[in-house]
Chains A and B, each alone.
Chain A
Amino acid sequence: MERQEILDTMNLVMTNKGREPITDETVATRDANFRSLDFSEVALRIETKLGRELTFDAAAMRNIDTVKDVLDFFEKATA
């Protein structure tokens, strides 16, 4: 999935919760107020869009710190 499409999905989740959309990839997910539940929702939305379950690398998931990490993670998972 394209990086922009992943970011759009993240921002759909953010704005649905009344939060500001993310514009800076370098910001920490904690500072962007992007939480574990939101990560899980983005994954579910991507799975629904693709029509298949994604395979996740648990170790990579634990190392996520920034928005860039999230985008990298889903880019790899959907490749």
Chain B
Amino acid sequence: MPDVAHNNTITFPDGQSSWTALLKNADARIGAPDRFDGQRVVFVVDSMQQAFGAIIYGLTHGLDYGVVERHRVSPEVAGRFAENGVALFDWAAVTVMGDAQHAGDTLEPGRVTVLTSGTTGLLKLIPHSWDTLNTFDRVAELPANTWFLPYQIGSYAWFQMVALGLFKPGQNLVCGDFNDLAASFETALRSGQITAISSTPTFWRHALMNIGFDLIQSAPLTSISMGGEIVDQAILDELGGIFPQAKIRHIYASSEAGAAIVVTDGKAGFDAKLTDPARAIGVKVEEDRLYIRSPYSNKADASGWVDTGDLVERRGDRFLFCGRAGNTMINVGGQKAFPPDIEAYLNAHPNVVWSQVTARRAPLMGNLPVAKVVLTKGADTTTAERDLTEYCSKGLAEYAVPRMWEFLDSVPMRASLKS
């Protein structure tokens, strides 16, 4: 594991700190690490500052640990931790919550527990280590950056960014405030210090709706990374137009497969050449299903491959993402309509900020595609339904044209920054 970049700074809503200062405070608060002997522990925190303190404390003392926000610890979630032999430790009260758990044979010093609710909504504990989370270790030359960190504490994306700030010198972090992410992003932009951001397409659509365009455009961004959901051509083109100086990349990663595909050519999907078997990080497609073999993976079969459960479709020299297996295709009277395709087409319309297409049960056809849409400010809502229907009729198969429309005032965004 590389050394900690002690001089990197972390900016919280109430001030700036460094890893050295965070560790000093954590040691003073929690005391000697022997209180965690024989325990797999997850620290329950109330703030980003506490979370970062827990991170450097656990890393420095080689704990088997993780971190979770207090509001996520429902009785059901607490039970899930207990089932896995995980003790919950209240960072603020400096005490074990509930009954102490004994990890027994499952204790693995150096393991880092990442939390994901995945597509099922059920909290899962994904075992990682700082080696598998440190996905920037292959980037030899990384320019100094100040990153805006919008992710939820304890998620895989959050850990990746924390690892970047931990191990890569010159990578400073500015933490977003989840109580009002757009406002904290706006504050960070006004500081003029943000040069890089990792987020999702939904985050950007949300920001573009809620923050003044001039302020966004004035940001000296040189690095924009997106992932977590399908990155369509419309958002790549829009950000490319706003930030011509920035390197825009989209990354395919998951908490189980690890970071695997990085695309920097400004196009949606990925080049079919990435399936070349000689590559260090393996990418293969079988029956339109994506498999990854990555050193950052935590779960693979005997041959090292992880079935991602994501579907891709070959179009020319590229593979485009089509969503998750089993829950994406809409059967319209025997014809197959794919929401990601429809959304990508809708998002390319100049009056559309965001769209989401789902299936509605309907007589005769079985299902029909229906759309939720956020329009640009000032767009004519009275003609939007007809305009978008006409637009879709020109570029989509008849069965793929959304049949009912709901127009929302703002981009819905979950804690994962996805919609």
A residues near B, CB below 8 A? 15-18, 35-37, 39-41, 43-45, 48, 53-54, 56, 61
Q: Are B333 and A37 in contact (CB-based, < 8 A)?
A: yes
Asked, given contacts A16-B386, A45-B404, A48-B404, whether A40 binds B393 with beta carbons under 8 Å apart, the answer is no
Q: Which residues of the other chain, A, contact B386 by a CB distance below 8 angstroms?
A: 15-16, 18
Most buried by A among B362, B390, B404: B362
Q: Which residues of the other chain, B, contact A15 by a CB distance below 8 angstroms?
A: 386
Asked, given contacts A15-B386, A16-B385, A16-B386, whether A56 binds B403 with beta carbons under 8 Å apart, the answer is no
Q: Are B333 and A36 in contact (CB-based, < 8 A)?
A: yes
Q: Which of A17, A18, A35, A44 contacts B368 (CB 8 A)?
A: A44
Question: How far in angstroms is the closest Cβ of chain B from A8?
Answer: 15
Give the size range of B's interface with the partner.
Answer: 10 to 19
Q: Are B368 and A40 in contact (CB-based, < 8 A)?
A: yes
Question: How far in angstroms is the closest Cβ of chain B from A57?
Answer: 11
B residues near A, CB below 8 A? 332-333, 360-365, 368, 370, 385-386, 389-390, 393, 398-399, 403-404
Can you name 8 A-B residue pairings with CB atoms under 8 Å? A16-B385, A17-B393, A36-B333, A37-B365, A41-B362, A43-B362, A54-B363, A56-B364
Main secondary structure of the interface of A (DSSP, over half): helix
Question: How far in angstroms is the closest Cβ of chain B from A44?
Answer: 4
Question: How far in angstroms is the closest Cβ of chain B from A41?
Answer: 4
Main secondary structure of the interface of B (DSSP, over half): mixed
Most buried by A among B363, B365, B386, B390: B363
Question: How far in angstroms is the closest Cβ of chain B from A35?
Answer: 8
Question: How far in angstroms is the closest Cβ of chain B from A50?
Answer: 13
Q: Are A40 and B362 in contact (CB-based, < 8 A)?
A: yes
Question: How far in angstroms is the closest Cβ of chain B from A62?
Answer: 10
Q: Are B333 and A18 in contact (CB-based, < 8 A)?
A: no
The 8 tightest CB contacts between A and B, nearest first, are A40-B365, A41-B403, A43-B363, A40-B364, A44-B362, A16-B389, A40-B362, A16-B386
Question: How far in angstroms is the closest Cβ of chain A from B161?
Answer: 42
Asked, given contacts A17-B393, A18-B390, whether A40 binds B385 with beta carbons under 8 Å apart, the answer is no
